[in-house]
Amino acid sequence: MIRKLFFSAALCATLCILCFKTSVAQTPQATPPPPASPRSGKFPTPVDQTLPNGLRVIVVQRTESPLISAQLLIKNGGEVDSPELAGLADMTASLLTKGTQTRDATKIAQEIESLGGSLNSSARWDSSFASVNVMSSKIQPAMEILADVVRHPTFKSDEVERLRQQYLDNFTLALGDPGAVARMVAARVVFGDSPYGHPVSGTAESLARISAADIAKMHSRFYRPDNAILVIGGDINAKDGLALATKYFGDWQKPTTPLPAVSAAMESAAKGGRIVVIDKPDAGQAAVYLARTGIDRKDPDYFRGIVSNSVLSGYSGRLNQEIRIKRGLSYGAGSTLDARRDVGPFVASAQTKNESGAAVADLLLGEIGRLSSAPPADVELTPRKAVLIGNFSRNLETVNGLVGQVGSLALYGMDLNEINRYINNVEAINTADVQKFAGARLDAKTSNIIIVGNGKAFLPDLQKKYPNVEVIPVSELDLNTALLRKKKPSAD
């Protein structure tokens, strides 16, 4: 049993922040000794090159452990799924490792695992990826397999059927988990029928419709060197990294057709202000979510946004202070500001006993509002910025974290040197910035509340306060549409 859920273990940091003051000590034991002067560290510098076929190759060296992580990113993911084929991008990416022209699924797993390596592929929002993580002595054969699965997948029908069934089972499992249901409903409430609205891994209905031909078409449209980025990080230098990329991806032909045009416009679906309850009588706990639109990754307010989010989130963030530490209402409350190519979601959440569902919804709304009405003074803000900087720095300590961060900057067309400006950018944010961001971008009134739980336990309290509560029994939930409710069956 872990005390907190927020942090993954890892380390590194370059912190120069003195943020608590010690009073005069009476005895050497009674007050903490003050910190010594800070020491600094530096992050590796990514080396960025492009092969003649258009493949962008980024190498970032970190030699502390004999591991290498390589990630091949395709610059499109679930957002290009058509509404009736939700889950297509994710199924396509997952199927890469299930058979190529020269290897079947069993052989792929056998070969990569014999190297002690791991090979993963899936689609997310804005990107699809295949990646390997392996001891540096095994990178050559691992890279050969990575290139093979990206370039020569076969999408055989028996593999499509097998994966479809696994996705259907996973969807069924997700429907049993209040938190997972709340996440899927929140996306529909915020994004309606626009591209980020559907579950990225599909629904029972959409999964049933996806054909092997759809998958092959998705692959041929988007998986091409001029729509891809290869990030190699860890125990390898830039020259060797580039040679590796050239050896396995250099002869990947760029199609003569232009890159597919992807409609960039996201309709802003939602006015907000909805209170949606998914009544799940057997839920062991209620999942309470506040969800609304947030920002895109290129928004000039990005750093104001992530610092504002850090005031709310994390162990000592305001949400957890109010919900867990002061009131014992949850094991953990927090929030995420997910900045995507287009405007992504802001989500604040906590799980609580069913009886406290309404109280926690109030607290979430209250804390979002308080961010602009009572913005953090320096004494509160400085530590929250330190949290952000520390998490960022520790994340760069593992090869997977390093490759993930660099890949994300590259995907969104950001300057890779932002890694080395991150700390200054965070430190520059002040109280007025947070207040401005919260007021303009995180208005409580246009936020939505989603509660998935046993309605009987919290609905009376909730309805007293919010007359506009929409209640949908879980048996009538339809994640395929913004309506969220299955059409009434016509008399049959």
Partner 1 sequence: MVRFSIRLLLGACLLLATQLASAQTRMPQLKFADRTLTNGLRVLTVEDHSSPTVAIQVWYHVGSKDDPNQRSGFAHLFEHIMFKSTKNMKSEMMDRLTEDVGGFNNAFTNDDVTVYYEVVPSNYLETLIWAEADRLSGLNVDDANFKSERDVVKEEYRQSVLAPPYGMLFYLLQAKSFAEHPYKRPTIGSIENLDAASLQDVQDFHSTYYRPDNATLIVVGDFDSKQLDSWVDKYFAPIAKPSRSLPRVSVKEPPRKSETRLTEYGHNDLPAVGLTYLTTKRSDPDADALRVANAILSAGESSRLYNALVYTQQIAAEIESDDNTLEDAGLFIVGAILSEGKKVEDAEKSLLTEIKKLQDAPVSAAELEKAKNQLITDQLRERETGNGKALALGEAAVLLGDPARVNTDLARLQAVTAADVQRVMKKYFTDSNRLVLYYLPEASKKGGQ
Alpha carbons 320 and 3: distance in angstroms, whole number: 13
Q: Identify which of residues 61 and 227 has a Cβ nearer to partner 1 in the complex.
A: 61
Neighbouring residues of 33: CB distance < 8 A, sequence distance ≥ 6: 22
Q: Identify which of residues 137 and 157 has a Cβ nearer to partner 1 in the complex.
A: 137
Yes or no: say if 352 and 329 are a contact pair by the CB < 8 Å rule.
yes
* Shortest distance, position 208 Cβ to partner 1, whole Å: 12
* Shortest distance, position 135 Cβ to partner 1, whole Å: 5
Please give the single-letter amino acid code of residue 259.
L
Yes or no: say if 83 and 255 are a contact pair by the CB < 8 Å rule.
no
* Shortest distance, position 195 Cβ to partner 1, whole Å: 20
Q: Identify which of residues 50 and 65 has a Cβ nearer to partner 1 in the complex.
A: 65
Strand partners, 123: 128
- The Cβ-side half-sphere exposure at 9, using a 13 Å CA radius, reads 2
Query: What Å distances lie between residue 470 and 11, 76, 186, 276, CA to CA?
Result: 44, 34, 13, 5
Phi-psi region of 103 (alpha: psi -120 to 50; beta: other; left: phi over 0): beta
Q: Identify which of residues 84 and 158 has a Cβ nearer to partner 1 in the complex.
A: 158
* Shortest distance, position 301 Cβ to partner 1, whole Å: 23
For 357, the token pair is 């569902």
Residue with tokens 């493949």: 55
Alpha carbons 301 and 91: distance in angstroms, whole number: 34
Strands 333-337 and 128-135: unpaired
Q: Identify which of residues 229 and 232 has a Cβ nearer to partner 1 in the complex.
A: 232
- Residues 54, 55, 56, CA angle at the centre, nearest 5°? 110
* Shortest distance, position 482 Cβ to partner 1, whole Å: 23
Please give the single-letter amino acid code of residue 246.
T
Alpha carbons 186 and 147: distance in angstroms, whole number: 36
* Shortest distance, position 375 Cβ to partner 1, whole Å: 18
* Shortest distance, position 462 Cβ to partner 1, whole Å: 19
* Shortest distance, position 226 Cβ to partner 1, whole Å: 31
Q: Identify which of residues 82 and 110 has a Cβ nearer to partner 1 in the complex.
A: 110
Q: Identify which of residues 109 and 259 has a Cβ nearer to partner 1 in the complex.
A: 109
Q: Identify which of residues 358 and 444 has a Cβ nearer to partner 1 in the complex.
A: 358
- Residues 294, 76, 173, CA angle at the centre, nearest 5°? 75
* Shortest distance, position 187 Cβ to partner 1, whole Å: 15
Q: Identify which of residues 278 and 295 has a Cβ nearer to partner 1 in the complex.
A: 278
3-state secondary structure of 78: helix
Q: Identify which of residues 34 and 83 has a Cβ nearer to partner 1 in the complex.
A: 34
* Shortest distance, position 181 Cβ to partner 1, whole Å: 11
Which is nearest to 248 in space by CA: 323, 146, 378, 175?
A: 146
Query: What Å distances lie between residue 172 and 25, 159, 180, 277, 477, CA to CA?
Result: 59, 20, 11, 19, 13
